[in-house]
């Protein structure tokens, strides 16, 4: 495989896109570790893939990131690729109708996971990455990293912020570490919303029209599944295939970026 003998740590790897990356990396010959907060998702992962090294913890905690890196290095002898992927959504919460205190709480919560989680994961991984051969970092972004209407303002801003992290880290960690991203379009997963918005149990899977919405908003007209995105992560983590690639984001969204999302204006009911 393209990742034979290499060691990877995937945050949010117990579900959805992260879990698909875990399975694909294993198939490409990598040894894989996961940091995830969900005991339920972790139990399923352990049962299905007992070789994966799992740490239960929160990506917004530096100590939990450090524990996950330590477990990875102890089991695999090193760390070649850090995949920042754990994230939460805001289910399009509109600025106009979300109460101020709720909006404030959702900002703190979503930025803690989607932005600080990536930053602290890199900080915790960096010593091990710098000791390994051809190290790389890959973040999961979103169409919301480039376009409005892929979420509410807070989610969109959090994914835009992660583009900034990629660019800064691709500069700051060069020439030793390559840093890139993959930006999926709407994908059928269990993605949850912010507790501050009362969305901790809200899942994309529960929205009956989500597959149709995804199909209607991408030129290829496909309903994206987690496995559809994994080849991009393999490419970016592979020294043979991506030796010259750093600071870029691969849009894995059925071509959405050529035309944008749904409607001309989002404020018709203001």
DSSP string covering 17-38? HHHHHHHHHHHTT-EEEEEES-
Q: Does 204 bind ligand NAD (CB under 6 A)?
A: yes
Alpha helices per DSSP H over 112-253: 117-130, 153-172, 210-216, 230-237, 239-242
118 counts as catalytic: no
Nearest-approach distance from CB 243 to ligand NAD, in angstroms: 26
Nearest-approach distance from CB 27 to ligand NAD, in angstroms: 18
Looking from the CA of 187 toward its CB, the CA atoms found within 13 Å total 28
Spatial strand order of the sheet with 7-11 comes to 53-56, 31-36, 7-11, 81-84, 136-140, 178-184, 249-252
Q: Does 72 bind ligand NAD (CB under 6 A)?
A: no
- Mark the segment that binds ligand NAD (CB under 6 A) among 75-83, 122-130, 190-198, 257-265: 190-198
Question: Which of 189, 232, 238, 251 lies at the binding interface for ligand NAD (CB under 6 A)?
Answer: 189
Token match 């972004």: residue? 141
Q: Does 184 bind ligand NAD (CB under 6 A)?
A: yes
Q: How far apart are CA 181 and CA 60, in angstroms?
A: 19
Scan residues 35-54 and list those touching ligand NAD (CB under 6 A): 35-38, 41
Looking from the CA of 69 toward its CB, the CA atoms found within 13 Å total 25
Whether residue 36 contacts residue 211, with contact meaning beta carbons closer than 8 Å, is answered with no
- Mark the segment that binds ligand NAD (CB under 6 A) among 1-9, 82-90, 170-178, 258-266: 82-90
Q: Does 113 bind ligand NAD (CB under 6 A)?
A: yes
Question: x/- binding map, residues 13-32, to ligand NAD, per CB under 6 A?
Answer: -xxxxx--------------
Under 8 Å CB-to-CB from 135, ≥6 apart: which residues? Answer: 79, 80, 81, 129, 176, 177, 178
Nearest-approach distance from CB 14 to ligand NAD, in angstroms: 4
Cβ closest to ligand NAD, residue 128 vs residue 147: 147
Q: Does 85 bind ligand NAD (CB under 6 A)?
A: yes
Residue 87 gets the label, from left (phi > 0), alpha (psi -120 to 50) or beta, of: beta
Cβ closest to ligand NAD, residue 141 vs residue 170: 141
Number of residues that bind ligand NAD (CB under 6 A): 30
Question: Which of 8, 52, 192, 237 lies at the binding interface for ligand NAD (CB under 6 A)?
Answer: 192
Whether residue 83 contacts residue 138, with contact meaning beta carbons closer than 8 Å, is answered with yes
SS3 195: helix
Q: Does 238 bind ligand NAD (CB under 6 A)?
A: no
Q: Which residues of the chain form contacts with ligand NAD (CB under 6 A)?
A: 11-12, 14-18, 35-38, 41, 58-60, 85-88, 113, 140, 142, 184, 186-187, 189-192, 204
């Amino acid at each position: 495989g393209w990742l034979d003998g290499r060691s990877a740590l995937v945050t949010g790897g117990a579900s959805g896109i992260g879990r698909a990356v875990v399975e694909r990396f294993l198939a490409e010959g990598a040894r894989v570790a996961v940091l995830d907060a969900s005991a339920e998702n972790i139990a399923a992962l352990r049962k299905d893939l007992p070789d994966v090294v799992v740490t239960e913890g929160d990506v917004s905690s530096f100590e939990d990131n450090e524990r996950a890196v330590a477990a990875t290095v102890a089991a695999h002898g090193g760390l070649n690729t850090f995949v920042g992927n754990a994230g939460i959504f805001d289910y399009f919460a509109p600025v106009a109708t979300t109460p101020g205190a709720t909006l404030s709480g959702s900002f703190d919560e979503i930025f803690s996971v989607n932005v600080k989680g990536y930053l602290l994961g890199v900080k915790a991984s960096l010593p091990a990455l710098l000791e390994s051969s051809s190290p790389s970092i890959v973040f999961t972004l979103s169409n919301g990293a480039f376009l409005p209407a892929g979420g509410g303002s807070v989610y969109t801003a959090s994914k835009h912020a992660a583009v900034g992290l990629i660019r800064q880290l691709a500069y700051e960690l060069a020439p030793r570490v390559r840093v890139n991203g993959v930006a999926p379009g709407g994908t059928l997963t269990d993605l949850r919303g912010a507790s501050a918005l009362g969305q901790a149990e809200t899942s994309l899977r529960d929205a009956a029209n989500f597959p149709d919405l995804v199909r209607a908003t991408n030129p290829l007209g496909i309903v994206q599944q987690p496995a559809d995105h994994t080849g991009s992560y393999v490419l970016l983590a592979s020294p043979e295939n991506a030796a010259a690639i750093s600071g870029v984001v691969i849009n894995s969204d059925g071509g959405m970026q050529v035309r944008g999302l749904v409607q001309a204006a989002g404020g018709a009911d203001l």
